[in-house]
Amino acid sequence: MDRPDRNNLIERLRQRLCELLDDVPFARRMAVEQQPLPGPTRAADLVVEIETAGARRLLVLEVKTEGLPRTLRRAGDALETQLAQLPGTYGVLGAPYISDRGRAVCRELGVGCVDLAGNALLAFDQVFIERRGNPNPAPVRRLQRSLFAPRSSRVLRVLLVDPPRRWYVRDLAGEAGISLAQTSKVKRLLLDQDLAREDRRAFWLARPAELLKQWAQAYSYESNGVRYFYSMLSLADAEHRIAAECGRRDIRYALAMFSGASRVAPFAQYDRAFAFVDARPDEIANSLDMNSVPSGANVVLLRPYDDGVFYGLQEVEGVQVVSDIQLYLDLRSYKGRGEEAADFLFERRIEPGWTHARNPTTQPLP
């Protein structure tokens, strides 16, 4: 951003900050200006002097041209260090847009924040102001487009097996089955969103639950090829027949959604069998005398949108089941009781697994 644009951004954030302070009945603005701070510190973008309950405060605004959580963490750390020796000061970060995650980073660091969308956090003395939920006026869809794209999400599958494990890009790329360049890109996006940490080039997930939640919001099981069938068999028999037929024909498969979840974290009765098959679903269905139907289906066969669906297959009761992560993603996007089943799975399997199990055996991506 060139200097005129930056000056404009500072001015607009100044207006936002002053509007917030004007809503505090016991706060009085004394001065608003760009000025050097006392002591051996660099000049601030803006300093707002206010008086609250007889005490004076200097609000020091640091403006960033982007509000990525990683950028805010670095700037907040630096600002807190800068102001630590200056009693009566309170740091505030400003940016065009600051997400909920960015605001949480500021709260964690003990600094305030304000953006042009109307989101803000100020917490000092008797003042507490929080504004949230305002969308980005200039949204950037890079995160969903890049981080949760089929091949990129293979990296997430590996990382979510054991979030604290430290990975180097080369090793992670090999495990995920994608290029070094794409793995590096995913790493950078995770660091930018404050979802990962890095130390001497090795990195690991810092907020796996938040990453999984964001992925689930961007994912739909309908991204796969979905075909609906009716079978005269019971659901249990249909599931075993699908497994046996795929095994006989050397076709990759895995029970999914409620069929898979019922074997690892039973939650509720279900009325449809679900399975991923790495072949044309109609071929499998025809060989099992299942009829394609527009409604009233009791068997759903899915053709994977990406080979990553088969990462981390688990054998349960003699049949293949997709990983807990894939179960969660599919269930969260399924209407009805899918969300409840996904939450149950997370509480009973995924979160405890992150806490107590490290590096479980998984099947590598092809």
- The 10s digit of each residue's pLDDT in 101-138 is 899 999 999 999 999 999 999 998 888 999 998 888 76
What are the start-end ranges of the H helices in the chain?
Answer: 3-22, 69-83, 100-109, 142, 153-161, 169-176, 180-192, 208-218, 235-248, 257-264, 281-287, 324-332, 338-345, 351-356
Residue 100, both tokens: 């909920």
Q: Note the Cα 115 to chain centre separation in Å.
A: 21
Which pLDDT band, with edges at 50, 70 and 90, does 144 fall under?
A: low
φ, ψ of residue 183 to 5 degrees: the values are: -65, -40
Instruction: Answer yes or no: are the C-beta atoms of 321 and 264 closer than 8 Å.
Output: yes
Identity of the amino acid at 269: Q
pLDDT for residue 103:
93
Identity of the amino acid at 354: W
Separation between Cα atoms, residue 66 and residue 36, nearest integer Å: 23
Which pLDDT band, with edges at 50, 70 and 90, does 357 fall under?
A: very low
Separation between Cα atoms, residue 76 and residue 110, nearest integer Å: 8
Other beta carbons within 10 angstroms of residue 111's beta carbon come to 25
pLDDT in tens, 39-61: 545 667 888 888 877 778 888 99
pLDDT in tens, 122-132: 998 888 999 99
pLDDT for residue 361:
42
pLDDT for residue 282:
95
pLDDT for residue 366:
43
Separation between Cα atoms, residue 75 and residue 206, nearest integer Å: 19
- Nearest in space to 300 (alpha carbons), one of 325, 331, 328, 324: 331
pLDDT in tens, 188-247: 999 988 999 999 989 999 999 999 999 999 999 999 999 999 999 999 999 999 999 999
Query: Could you tell me the domains of the chain?
Result: 3-131 (3.40.1350.10), 142-218 (1.10.10.10), 222-356 (3.30.460.40)
Instruction: Answer yes or no: are the C-beta atoms of 245 and 221 closer than 8 Å.
Output: no
Separation between Cα atoms, residue 92 and residue 72, nearest integer Å: 10
Instruction: Answer yes or no: are the C-beta atoms of 359 and 167 closer than 8 Å.
Output: no
